[in-house]
Amino acid sequence: MPSKAVRPRTAKAPTQRQLRVGEALRHAVSEVLMREDFFDPDLSNISITISEILVSSDLANARVYTMPLGGVNIEVVLPALNRLAPVIQSFVAKKVHLRRTPRMRFFLDESFENAEKMNKLFAAIRQGP
């Protein structure tokens, strides 16, 4: 009897449901942070950009990619957001109608820095040697 070929494990593309839930969560988290429904001195007067939220396939966990405006106070803002994640999650749960709101963890979004590096590289190539 021939054995089945074992497929190597690769990262699957997110499903439409994951994408929809992530986008709904992104809007809700942005609204919660914008309206400042809670007070934390580390987050006062700081604009925070939520660029993307990736939701796990079982919708239990969410990776929130964020960047403070101008990239200032990253070392203070990120721990404060992770410390307040349960509070933010409870506010988001009231705005997004899901059976269970995913557990949120905040991460630094490095795509802005990567885009800046790529732009500099392309500019250097255009200028030539």
Q: Which amino acid is at 128?
A: G
Do the Cβ atoms of 29 and 49 come closer than 8 Å? no
Give 4-33 as a DSSP string.
PPPPPP-PPPPPHHHHHHHHHHHHHHHHHH
Lowest average pLDDT, out of 15-19, 72-76, 89-93, goes to 72-76
Do the Cβ atoms of 109 and 52 come closer than 8 Å? yes
pTM, to two decimals: 0.77
Delineate the domains of the chain, giving CATH numbers in brackets.
16-127 (3.30.300.20)
Residue 106 per-residue DSSP state = E
Whole-number Å distance between alpha carbons of 41 and 43: 5
Taking only the tens place, the pLDDT of each residue in 16-46 is: 999 999 999 999 999 998 886 677 888 888 8
Helical packing angle, 85-95 and 74-83, nearest 10°: 60
> Can you name the residues that pair with 52 across neighbouring β-strands?
65
Give 48-96 as a DSSP string.
EEEEEEEE-TTSSEEEEEEEEGGGTTHHHHHHHHHHTHHHHHHHHHHHS
Taking only the tens place, the pLDDT of each residue in 42-73 is: 888 888 899 999 999 999 999 999 988 877 78
Task: Say which residue the tokens 């239990």 belong to.
Answer: 60
Closest CA to 66 of 88, 77, 54, 51: 51
